[in-house]
Amino acid sequence: MNNINVALVGQPNVGKSMLINTISNSKLKVGNFSGVTVDKAEVDFKYCDEKSCKDYNIHIIDLPGTYSLSEYTIEERVTKNFLQNGEYDVIVNVIDSTNLERNLLLTMQLLELGKKVVVALNMSDEADREGIEIDEKQLSAILGVPCIKTSAVKSLGVDELKSAIVTVVDKHKSDSKVVYSDTIEEEIEKIVSFLSEKNYKSDLCYEKLAVKLLQEDVIIYKKMHDEPIWIELLPIIRGALTHIYLHYETKDLEDIFAEERHSFARGATLEVQKVKITIKENLTQKIDSILIHKFFGIPIFLFFMWSLFQLTFEVGSIPMNLIDKFFVALGDGAIAIFGDGEIGSLISDGIIAGVGAVVMFLPNIMILFLGIALLETTGYMSRVAFLLDGFFHKFGLHGKSFIPLVTGFGCSVPAYMAARTLKNEKDRLLTLFIIGFMSCGARLPIYVLFAGAFFAQESAGNILFLIYISGALLGLVAAKVLNVVVFKSEDEPFVMEMPKYRLPSMKLVWHTVWNNAWMYLKKAGTYILAASMLIWFASSYPKYPLIEESYQTKIKLASNQESKKVLENEMNLELLENSYLGIIGKASEPLFAPLGFDWKMTVALQTGLAAKEVVVSTLGVLYALGDEVSEEDNFLVEQIRKNIPFASGVAFIVFVMIYLPCLAASMVFVKEAGGWKYLGYLFVFTTVTAWILSFIAYNIVKGFS
């Protein structure tokens, strides 16, 4: 005979006592918990499991009704103490089906314990009468534990509940899942990563342990305080709590996690429950009825994003020109100090020009991040993710993929990191593979350059918006293909916290924008700096003294400055064609010739593997204008318009939209995906896709032009 001890937990008036009477067909034995006057109800019954052909003796302890695992009342203290220290095999959480959202608050706390749990959706008959439909299978998938519809009055679901208890107890560990906001999940991931690296031995899984640490659980702190790992772990916890305090503007962890549970309960309820009977709407529901309307919700979101891009390009162009002039002057100053030799050229043409090309777009990046941060902190982004969940599932994506994908419009680096919130590996990998289709801010200079070359100035903003949206749609199609061909598995249910609408915290918004801007600048000082120096070297060597002498002679004999400038450009172009960069471009030109690309465009794409920002300055160098150019340089625009056919320009934009992200993002991708092999897959997938779609675009546009 196998013994199973069950802890029956639920909020007051959910029908626990009646349910276990119905289950056992017997009366309760009532006594008191040790040392207190709180009732202790117990029942024993035998159960034969037909699946395993085993007999079980099930002992149920009906714990006092409690709204949460706090210690405000003696009943709450008794229940919390038993669940933390008592001996039992499984928790059966009884829920009032007519008040799902409120009851899920306790369920969240029970799941945080890391114990085996079964959820009984009691009073399901009353829910039916009130027009409430609950998808218990979806709820089970969201929580990671069995959810069984029951009715103690009508004896519905009793056998299913008994079977679920036995099945869960026989499992090796709990499969429960708890989803928090991105801020909390990010800090959990850091702690879990550290514990994994240290191979820390724990009875709790790392995720549950991390939550306990962030909640400052006294028992866990006492247990770990005397262990050697504590010295290294403490700074990580302090940093995590500092970030969380800043996000919530409070240091009250009980309030913080209470808000997290409310958000989760609200999101889960919205996902699994349908109410046929109309009830009076509150303010949040009234706003939601507009912003996440099934017909108007997506157009409203697209309008917000269009407005954000217009603001980014219009306002960002003002400081961009000033920054550009500053770096041009800085480059001239470097030449004046170090001369026209190799050192001066390296510092001016390599380092300053390369880094300046990145810093120049910092205002655009900050405005873009500012807009995204405002949408996130008001609670709107979570609702858009919910709104797009059904649409995303058609392409094999998870609703929560929306957040990293939108972040990808700013920078792929934080976007790849944001994908950590997706717990299912298939969803996470699929999202990682298509983030690159969301055009990051680093591609903005290329789009601005080509939009200015081939379209009227007044329509440039709309063209840029169209480019970004087209990339996103291509990403969805790519996700569908990958989902069918590569990532084959069942879709995970979607649940996301649905926070209340609130005025954005300027302190939090500034923190978000500053962190992302600083990450962007660090990228400029590391990867972009190295790439710029490498490109300078590859475009400057090997040296050809005979070619230089021949042209210098012609330049001296030239009659005017204009002729001299033409000869200097011709000399630079010939030297570039014979440089390492030119040799590489010429060698790979046949691969891109069907797309209408010449060797200069090919080289620009290759330098873009290091950093997309470098493409513009590379095109300037290769079209014999010198590298002190920007996407707004009228001479460069004219050269692009004159030397690149419209069809080739469109194909070039399509290729830039899709192919591999920059070196910094690629390194982060390797870490988040879990290995270098995935970067190889991403390179092949994006390159082949970019080539095919560019080929199609080139031939379509060529046919109409």
Give residue-wise pLDDT tens across range 640-699: 888 888 999 999 999 999 998 887 788 878 878 888 899 999 999 999 999 999 999 999
Q: What confidence score (pLDDT) does residue 619 get?
A: 78
- Least confident range from 186-190, 207-211, 360-364, 526-530: namely 526-530
Tokens of 129: 């009468």
Tokens of 51: 């699946």
Tokens of 27: 């009366």
Q: What confidence score (pLDDT) does residue 626 get?
A: 45
Give residue-wise pLDDT tens across range 259-297: 888 888 988 898 899 887 555 556 667 787 888 787 888
State mean pLDDT over 538-567.
81
Q: What confidence score (pLDDT) does residue 28 get?
A: 57
Give the angle subtended at the CA of 36 by the CAs of 35 and 42, to the nearest 5°: 100
Of 160, 155, 115, which Cα lies nearest the Cα of 137?
Answer: 160
CA 476 to chain centre: 15
Give residue-wise pLDDT tens across range 127-173: 888 888 999 999 998 898 999 999 887 888 888 998 899 889 888 77
Q: Could you tell me whether strands 117-122 and 147-149 are parallel, antiparallel, or unpaired per DSSP bridges?
A: parallel
Q: Decide if domain 182-291 falls under CATH 1.10.287.
A: yes
Q: Whole-angstrom Cα distance, residue 287 to residue 498? A: 13
In the chain, the percentage of residues whose pLDDT exceeds 70 is: 85
Q: 2-170: which CATH topology?
A: Rossmann fold (3.40.50)
Mean pLDDT of the chain: 81
Neighbours of 226 (CB within 10 A): 7
Q: What confidence score (pLDDT) does residue 40 get?
A: 67
Q: Over 90: is that where the pLDDT of 536 sits?
A: no
In the chain, the percentage of residues whose pLDDT exceeds 90 is: 16
Q: What confidence score (pLDDT) does residue 689 get?
A: 93
Q: What confidence score (pLDDT) does residue 173 get?
A: 77
- Residue where the block lists tokens 């099934």: 294
Q: What confidence score (pLDDT) does residue 630 get?
A: 47
Give residue-wise pLDDT tens across range 610-639: 778 778 777 766 664 444 444 444 566 777
End-to-end CA distance of the chain: 83
Q: Whole-angstrom Cα distance, residue 554 to residue 556? A: 5
Q: Over 70: is that where the pLDDT of 494 sits?
A: no
Numbered ranges of CATH 1.10.287 in the chain:
182-291
Q: Over 60: is that where the pLDDT of 495 sits?
A: no
The segment with the largest mean pLDDT, out of 38-52, 553-567, 594-608, is: 594-608
Q: What confidence score (pLDDT) does residue 624 get?
A: 47
Close Cβ partners of 395 (under 8 Å, ≥ 6 residues apart): 476, 477, 479, 480, 483
State mean pLDDT over 598-611.
84
Q: What confidence score (pLDDT) does residue 317 get?
A: 67
Q: Over 80: is that where the pLDDT of 237 sits?
A: yes
Beta-bridge partners for 9: 93
Q: Whole-angstrom Cα distance, residue 168 to residue 7? A: 13
State mean pLDDT over 478-507.
70
Q: What confidence score (pLDDT) does residue 505 get?
A: 64
Give residue-wise pLDDT tens across range 319-345: 866 776 787 788 778 888 887 777 877
- Least confident range from 2-11, 27-36, 140-149, 423-432: namely 27-36
State mean pLDDT over 36-55.
72
- Choice between 309 and 640, residue whose per-residue pLDDT is larger: 640
> Which DSSP string do the residues of 205-261 spell out, in sequence order?
-HHHHHHHHHTT-HHHHHHHHTSTTHHHHHHHHHHHHHHHHHHHT---HHHHHHHHH
State mean pLDDT over 495-521.
69
pLDDT confidence tier of residue 433, bands split at 50, 70 and 90: very high
Q: What confidence score (pLDDT) does residue 33 get?
A: 47
Neighbours of 121 (CB within 10 A): 24
Q: Over 90: is that where the pLDDT of 557 sits?
A: no
pLDDT confidence tier of residue 379, bands split at 50, 70 and 90: confident
Instruction: Map residue 618 onto helix, strand or coil.
Output: helix
Q: What confidence score (pLDDT) does residue 627 get?
A: 43
- Choice between 23 and 433, residue whose per-residue pLDDT is larger: 433
- Choice between 19 and 654, residue whose per-residue pLDDT is larger: 654
Q: Whole-angstrom Cα distance, residue 16 to residue 338? A: 84
Numbered ranges of CATH 3.40.50.300 in the chain:
2-170
